[in-house]
Every structure is written in C-alpha cells, then in structure tokens.
Chain A
C-alpha cells in the first residue's frame, strides 16, 4: 500500500475520477459536500451575500471547467477548491484598497466580530464542531482566520502582527497542531 492510497480515502478518489470525467452526478455530490464550507469562507471575504452567491457559482463553474488542471499530488481536492473560491472572492471584492481596509477593520478586533457579522443559517450538524474550534486560543484562531478565510499571505501576516516570517510559520504550525487535536486528525 503506497502512502498516497493510504491518505486519500476512496471517496476522494472517486470524486476526483468523477470530476475528471465530467460526471454531473459526481459533481453534484461534490457540491453537496463542499458548497456550504466554501460559502462560509467566501462570506468572510466578500462584502455581501449577493456577491458571495455569485462567487460560489463562479467557483464551481471554474472547478468544472478546470477539472483537468487539478493535480492530486499537490493537495486534496477541497484545498484546490478553497484556493479557487478564495481567489474568486478576493477578485470580487470591490477593489484591492477596499479589500485591504475591510480586512484590517474586520480582524483588528476579536475574531468573534467576524463570526457575528454574518448571521446566516449555520448547519446544526456542525455546531458542535464550532464549539470545539472556540477552544483554540484566540491568537491562533485569529491567525488561521486571517490566512484561511481572508487570504492573507505569510508576508501580510508578518506585517500585520509585526512579527518575523519565521515566527509566522511556527505560530501557524502550532495552531494547526492544536486543530489536529481538536478534530482528532492523525
């Protein structure tokens, strides 16, 4: 058993194969699995839910059209989709300047502001998980939010917090190690 086979579960392989062969049933399954997670990320980046709707649609159309570009050796399907969603969302913020300003405003205070700013329907199945996430120390949570949901680069985080690049790496690693424990990922 190779390492790749061990770490990409069968359903992921099926999804990838289905997507590559433009199987609409599989694509529908991918949408059902991931659209809400992607929508949650998009909502944290764009200014309105109307824009988020457009971005989500755009994201899945890009996923469909670029299925052939996906390379599983570079990461999981969901990671690839998140990157597409995040880039589309950033492109759809009103302007780079507005994007930057809103980023700072949204994140300069506590992370809870961001959570509260979107009062959308939250999947009740995942509410428990949300509780777990709150166990993450606020500083680490903020770091992950900025990078994962707001698309900050390592350099931007370094500038924002006034910490060296090396420290950013360490803190991100520690934050994800914490998350691994919370979500019981080996």
Chain B
C-alpha cells in the first residue's frame, strides 16, 4: 500500500483509536516512519478525536490532582522510580498503587474502629462522669458530717476541760406533773456564763411550739434560749446566763415568749 492507499483505507483512523491488531499496528508504525504525509494525516485524525473527547469532558474531583502530585513526589524521592525509561510492562505494574489502596483501606478501617471505640468510650466517660458527680456529692455530705463531728469533738473536749476545772455546774432537771419521764441536764459555766443543755428525754414538741429554757435568778425567769431539737444526748449551746438558782423548760409558741407559760413546764432543776 502506498501512503494514499493507507490514508483511504481507514487504517490510520483505527490506529489513532488504538483498535488495530498487533500486526496491522506494526505495519502502520513502519509506514508512518516512511511517509511524512501519513504523519500529517494521522495528526489531523488525532486532533479531531481529541476535540471530540474534549467536547465530552467531565471535571474530575479536585482531590485527584493533589493525590497524583503527592504520589509522584513520593516516588520521585523514593526508590520506586529508579529508571523511568524501563520497559512499559514493568513500570505499569499496579502493585505499588494496589498496595496503597490496601494501606488506605487499612487506615480507613483503623479510623472507623477508632471512631466507634471513641463513641463507646465517650458513653462510658459520660456514665463515669455521672458516677463521679454522685460520689462528689456524697463526699461533700460526708465532709459536712465530718466537720460537724470535728466541731462536736472540739466542743466536747473544751467542755470536758471546763468540767475538769470545776468551773461548770451540772444541773439535773426532772420532769414535773405534765411530763414525769422528762429529763434534761444543764451545764452552766459560772466563769464565762456559758450554758449547755443536754436532752435526755423530752417529748416531741407539737407543731407551732418550741421548748424554751429559763434561768431563774432571784425568783425572776430569764430567757436562756429556745430549741426544738430533742434528740437524745444532743448537747445544745444556750444563751449565756450570769446568775441563776434554778433552770426550767417550758413549751412556748414558736419564737419563744418573754415570760414562761408555767402551765406548760416540763422540767425544772435547782442548783
């Protein structure tokens, strides 16, 4: 075939489309090197196909370009591409890329696993947080309790100290007709006028009522403070009293009274 026959055969078109068998392809390549006119014709076919392909173009996702440059920079500095001109069949091996695929897949799996375990841990942490808050609250309550106990101990230590010096007068108060089983104690420190009340047995005060302690000095009742805590063995600090011959407890309206309601006297004790 001369160059004109080749041009008219349609072989150049199929060559440009890479649709020829090996034999025909080799024949065309040989002819191309012999006839410059064929090259000219081939370019024009290729340009046509190129414009056709460009007319059908679809924008590729942007990250692909970045991936490609990452990849070529990696191989350029690495060992994978020692001679870029080695046989096409060797360099076309998909292994490095396939390996990268597995690598990315492995990373994806790791990331997913990580996310799930993080969610799981987050849930656990939230639960632990709740537990911690509860514990913290309990701890606060216990600390308060402990502080109270400490104060109580300090208070009692001080109290014992005072008892030991003989400055404190212990007044036993016994129940009267209204409540014969009632029983209280007053510790009165004559030195600093402090008064402490220890409830041993008192009935629960009715609602709207409180107990009031009185110190009777020279026949006159003096208010020594109100209370409604009747817990057994609790030690209550009352008002300071400078002078007294007796102590008594009456039931009074809430807030206490100026003068005792004698009909409502529960206990009394002389010094």
CB distance from A40 to the nearest CB of B (A): 4
> Dominant SS at the A interface?
helix
Contact of A132 among B45, B49, B55 (CB under 8 A): B55
Q: Does B72 interact with chain A (Cβ within 8 Å)?
A: yes
Contact call B59/A79, Cβ cutoff below 8 A: no
Interface contacts (Cβ under 8 Å), in number, total: 196
A31 to B19, CA, bound (A): 25
A169 at the interface (CB under 8 A from B): yes
Q: How far is the CB of A157 from chain B (nearest CB, A)?
A: 7
Other-chain contact of A73, B39, B50, B56, B91 (Cβ < 8 Å): B39
List chain A residues, Cβ under 8 A from B21: 153-155
Q: Are A123 and B59 interface neighbours, CB within 8 A?
A: yes
The segment out of B60-68, B124-132, B147-155, B164-172 that lies at the interface is: B60-68
Cα-based distance from A86 to B262 in the complex (angstroms)? 114
Contact between B53 and A133, CB atoms less than 8 A apart: no
Which chain B residues lie closer than 8 Å to A180 at the CB level?
44-45, 48
Alpha-carbon gap, A169 to B2, bound state (A): 17
Within 8 A of B (CB), among A64-92: 64-69, 73-76, 78-79, 82-83, 86, 91
Alpha-carbon distance A52/B60, docked complex (angstroms): 9
B61 x A2 contact (CB < 8 A): no
| Minimum C-beta distance from A33 to chain B (A) | 9
Interface string of B39-51 (1 = CB under 8 A from A): 1101111111111
CB proximity of A1 to chain B, nearest CB, Å: 12
CB distance from B23 to the nearest CB of A (A): 12
A24 within 8 A of B: yes
When distances are taken between beta carbons in the complex, the residues of chain B under 8 Å from A53 are 60-61, 64
Stretch of B81-89, B199-207, B241-249 contacting A (4+ beta carbons < 8 Å): B81-89
CB-based contact A179/B49 at 8 Å: yes
- A183 near B48 with CB under 8 A, answer yes
B8 CB to closest chain A CB (Å) equals: 8
Could you say which interface size class chain A belongs to?
35 or more
Q: Which of chain A's residues has its CB closest to B45's CB?
A: A176
Q: Is the CB of A3 within 8 A of B40?
A: yes
User: Contact check: which of B9, B14, B19, B39 meets A4 at CB < 8 Å?
Assistant: B39
Residues of A137-186 whose CB lies within 8 A of B:
144, 147-149, 151-155, 157, 168-173, 176, 179-180, 183, 185-186
Closest to B69 in A: A24
Q: How many B residues touch A, CB cutoff 8 Å?
A: 59
Q: Which of B30-38, B176-184, B185-193, B228-236 contacts A (4 or more CB under 8 A)?
A: B30-38
Q: Is the CB of A118 closer than 8 A to any CB of chain B?
A: yes
Task: Name the residue among B58, B73, B91 with the largest chain A CB count within 10 angstroms.
Answer: B58
CA distance A123 to B54 in the complex (A): 9
Most buried by A among B36, B45, B57, B81: B57
**Chain B residues closer than 8 Å to A144, beta-carbon distance:** 17, 52
Alpha-carbon distance between A100 and B32 when the two chains are bound, in angstroms: 32
Smallest beta-carbon distance B112→chain A, Å: 17
Contacts A78-B53, A79-B46: A36 and B36 contacting too (C-beta < 8 A)? Answer: no
Given the known interface contacts A8-B43, A22-B76, the answer about A39 and B52 at a Cβ–Cβ threshold of 8 Å is no
Q: Are A170 and B10 in contact (CB under 8 A)?
A: yes
Contact B10 A133 (CB under 8 A): no
**A61-B71 contact given A76-B50, A185-B48, CB 8 Å threshold:** yes
Contacting residues, chain B, for A40 (C-beta < 8 A):
53, 56-58
Q: Are A122 and B58 in contact (CB under 8 A)?
A: yes
- Tell yes or no: A46 within 8 A of B by CB: no
Name the contact of A130 in the complex, choosing from B46, B48, B55, B69 (C-beta under 8 A). Answer: B55
11 of the cross-chain contacts (CB-CB < 8 Å) are A7-B40, A27-B72, A28-B65, A41-B53, A65-B75, A66-B91, A69-B85, A75-B16, A78-B53, A169-B13, A172-B19
Q: Which 4 A-B pairs have the closest CB atoms?
A: A169-B10, A129-B55, A173-B10, A68-B85
